[in-house]
Structure 1
Amino acid sequence: MSLDMSIKPEGVDTRHGAILYLDDVTVSFDGFRALNKLTLDISVGELRCIIGPNGAGKTTMMDVITGKTRPTSGSAFFGQTFDLARMTEYEIAHAGIGRKFQRPTVFEQHTVFENLELAMKMDKRVRPTLFARLSSEQEDRIGAILRLIRLHGHEDRPAGLLSHGQKQWLEIGMLLMQEPQLILLDEPVAGMSDAETARTAELLNELRGKHSIMVVEHDMGFVAEIAQQGKVTVLHEGSVLAEGRMDDVQADDRVIEVYLGR
């Protein structure tokens, strides 16, 4: 069975072409501006890489998008429908924004298959969960995700026995099972081997166009692999310093000075 693995942005008004729009967002902590009038947008189906030095505001930006941090001023919209500044973290996740943190958080005592099953978007009340039986369509979806994340054949293996890279892929698969419309990935290849990093680049390139994805990453070689057809945004001191194709960003004197080095 061939499954359409793309996420349809149902319920999210994207007539203007953007699934995420941050407008003049400022976040202040005790007088320090972690974000300083930050403005950017992510198009439907776009894979956007966000780079910048430590303290540039990357994590705070993702916290604003997921509702963990409220902007001091400015606005953040998911499509034209959802004002993120007025929503709880749960409401934002339910609306279709999924976030993966740097450290993988999988259920290590459960198998790979069970992790994906537990993450599936379904009725999680106790009684339906206890008596639930997967439909053939749900089983097919898990099988498709297993192949996509390079864990086909490992479905019966306890997640705790996976390599670091495999745990990262499993967590990405768990995000996909929740059917998010926008995926936020925080340093997805940190701690990976070269081979795992290359396979992760292949995975994200396969997802390009089918999902809207924001990747925050420090590994410039990895960024170059996944940003060939899209934009790279450079943050510095809470604002956009530069934005454009990877070659242009790397050649920007301002970016070289504050981040890449000479």
Structure 2
Amino acid sequence: MSELISELDAVGLHTPVEPVDATHGILLYLEEVSVSFDGFKAIDKLSLYIGDGELRCIIGPNGAGKTTMMDIITGKTKPDSGRVFFGQTIDLLKLDEPAIARIGIGRKFQKPTVIEPLTVLENLELAMSGAKRLRGLLSTRLSGEERDRIGAVLERVGLSEHGGRRAGILAHGQKQWLEIGMLLMQEPRLLLVDEPVAGMTPAEMERTAELLRSLAGAHSVVVVEHDMGFVRSIADQVTVLHQGRVLAEGRLDELQVDPTVIEVYLGAGDAYH
């Protein structure tokens, strides 16, 4: 048993997770964050606050810093300056990517990263957090609690009837929902979702909007998206990034008539549709 615990420590599955203190109502703090690449300032004194249980949409033109912002939150990129906290006490800048995932921050990239040769159920089992995930790799037997968790996630993402199907033959939208389900198996407090409806049919977009709205409250959800119709359907609060900093925040109907926002983003051809 001691050897197994040592192995778990080595891969970060046995390390205790510090509880997240969001008693002030804010789950994620970015304060005066800056980062440059080869002289280009991708993020410029960015300050952003995400409430506990909030669903926030982030919009902005290409190069506004949206991807870099998510890279900083998840530990892929370290900023040159500033503070990034998860709750009141967890300094994300002191943690690496695996540690940040363990404490409850999940990220979904634009392109689905499901394991296509495996079934939907097997993908969810492998995504199960901590030692449960390791046990799933070693045995095909699941506890009743684990089966219940997988069943609840399957229902949440609308794939209850597809558990035995290979992930590779799912429709595009279904793969996106499966990946969200895989994140939910890891019990994240914060989900970062990058352009979830790119390439989706209108029906898939509507189902995705329902899914993301259903997650708010139990989770904080940050969605980066270009499709303004989709943004309007899910978010009360929208943040516009431009040149690595917050240009404006508010309801989408307010931002649509903001002259500065129109000039730098909403008036930029196909950005607004």
- TM-score band by shorter chain is over 0.9
Q: 1:115 aligns with which of 120, 123, 126?
A: 123
Give 1:14 shift.
1.1
For residues 82-231 of structure 1, the aligned pairs below 5 Å read 82-123=90-131, 129-131=137-139, 133-227=141-235, 230-231=236-237
Taking the aligned partners of 2:135 and 2:50, their CA distance within structure 1 comes to 39
Taking the aligned partners of 1:242 and 1:170, their CA distance within structure 2 comes to 33
Give the alignment's TM-score, normalised by structure 1.
Answer: 0.93
| CA pair 126-21 structure 1, distance change in 2 beyond 3 A | closer
1:169-215 superposed Cα distances (whole Å, 9 cap, x missing partner): 00000000000110000001111111101110011111121210100
Taking the aligned partners of 1:127 and 1:92, their CA distance within structure 2 comes to 21
Q: Provide the residue aligned with 1:25 in structure 2.
A: 33
1:26 match: secondary structure: strand
Is the 8 Å Cα contact of residues 76 and 84 (structure 1) preserved in structure 2? yes
What is the RMSD of the two structures over their aligned residues, measured on CA atoms? 1.6
Is the 8 Å Cα contact of residues 126 and 137 (structure 2) preserved in structure 1? no
Is 1:54 paired with 2:23? Answer: no
| CA pair 127-192 structure 1, distance change in 2 beyond 3 A | closer
Taking the aligned partners of 2:134 and 2:145, their CA distance within structure 1 comes to 22
Give 1:129 shift.
3.8
Is the 8 Å Cα contact of residues 50 and 234 (structure 1) preserved in structure 2? yes
Q: Provide the residue aligned with 1:6 in structure 2.
A: none
5+ long unaligned stretches in structure 1: 1-8
Percent of counterpart pairs with the same letter?
A: 67
| CA pair 150-213 structure 1, distance change in 2 beyond 3 A | same
Give 1:246 shift.
1.3
Letter in 1 for 2:233: E
Q: Provide the residue aligned with 1:67 in structure 2.
A: 75
2:22 match: secondary structure: coil
2:229 match: secondary structure: helix
Letter in 1 for 2:43: L
1:90-139 superposed Cα distances (whole Å, 9 cap, x missing partner): 11111110000000000101100111111011416867742462111211
Is the 8 Å Cα contact of residues 123 and 129 (structure 1) preserved in structure 2? no
Paired residues, number: 252
Give the alignment's TM-score, normalised by structure 2.
Answer: 0.89
5+ long unaligned stretches in structure 2: 1-16, 269-273
Taking the aligned partners of 1:191 and 1:259, their CA distance within structure 2 comes to 21
Taking the aligned partners of 1:16 and 1:126, their CA distance within structure 2 comes to 35
Letter in 2 for 1:261: G
Is the 8 Å Cα contact of residues 119 and 177 (structure 1) preserved in structure 2? yes
Taking the aligned partners of 1:52 and 1:181, their CA distance within structure 2 comes to 25
Taking the aligned partners of 1:183 and 1:23, their CA distance within structure 2 comes to 19
Letter in 2 for 1:239: R
Q: Greater shift after overlay, 181-190 or 114-123?
A: 114-123
2:161 match: secondary structure: coil
After TM superposition, what 4+ stretches of structure 1 lie above 3 angstroms from structure 2?
Answer: 124-129
Give 1:250 shift.
1.2
Q: Provide the residue aligned with 1:5 in structure 2.
A: none
1:56-97 superposed Cα distances (whole Å, 9 cap, x missing partner): 000000000000000111110011121111111111111110
